[in-house]
């Protein structure tokens, strides 16, 4: 996290789909005020760049449908698609499922 906050890899990409998931989970587990506050904090964070995903929808759908040896959610398929197209395949994640994708490079988060 220190490397990320120091900008070692550049800005983090906050996908629209990920923000939707975060806010939905917070709404269901906490309340609207918490979901709204966290969403706003993420959208205003200098370390993050918000990525609208409409441009990536068709590619993400193709990746989701075509997967053979992975069990990626649609959002994870979108994350992989954006990483391939916006960050030269570099992805920071604890999700080991991404390691199965040949076009991704999982960065070390330690």
Q: Hey, what domains does the chain have and what are their CATH numbers?
A: 2-106 (3.40.50.1010)
Mean pLDDT of 32-49: 92
- pTM (global) more than 0.75: no
Percent of the chain with pLDDT over 90: 43
pLDDT at residue 6 tops 80: no
User: What is the pLDDT at residue 108?
Assistant: 65
Coil, helix or strand for 67? coil
pLDDT at residue 110 tops 70: no
Long-range CB contacts (within 8 A, 24+) of 71-79: 71/97, 72/97, 74/17, 75/15, 75/17, 75/18, 75/21, 78/15, 78/17, 78/53, 79/15, 79/17, 79/18
Residue keyed to tokens 């075509």: 66
Mean pLDDT of 45-65: 89
């Amino acid at each position: 996290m220190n490397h990320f906050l120091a900008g070692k890899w550049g800005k983090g990409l906050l996908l629209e789909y990920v923000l939707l998931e975060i806010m939905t989970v917070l709404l269901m587990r906490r309340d609207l005020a918490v979901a709204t506050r966290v969403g706003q904090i993420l959208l205003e964070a200098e370390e993050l760049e918000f990525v609208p995903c409409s441009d990536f929808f068709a590619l993400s759908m193709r990746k989701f449908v075509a997967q053979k040896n992975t069990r990626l959610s649609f959002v994870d398929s979108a994350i992989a698609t954006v990483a391939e197209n916006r960050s030269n395949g570099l992805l920071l994640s604890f999700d080991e499922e991404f390691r199965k994708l040949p076009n991704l490079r999982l960065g070390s988060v330690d």
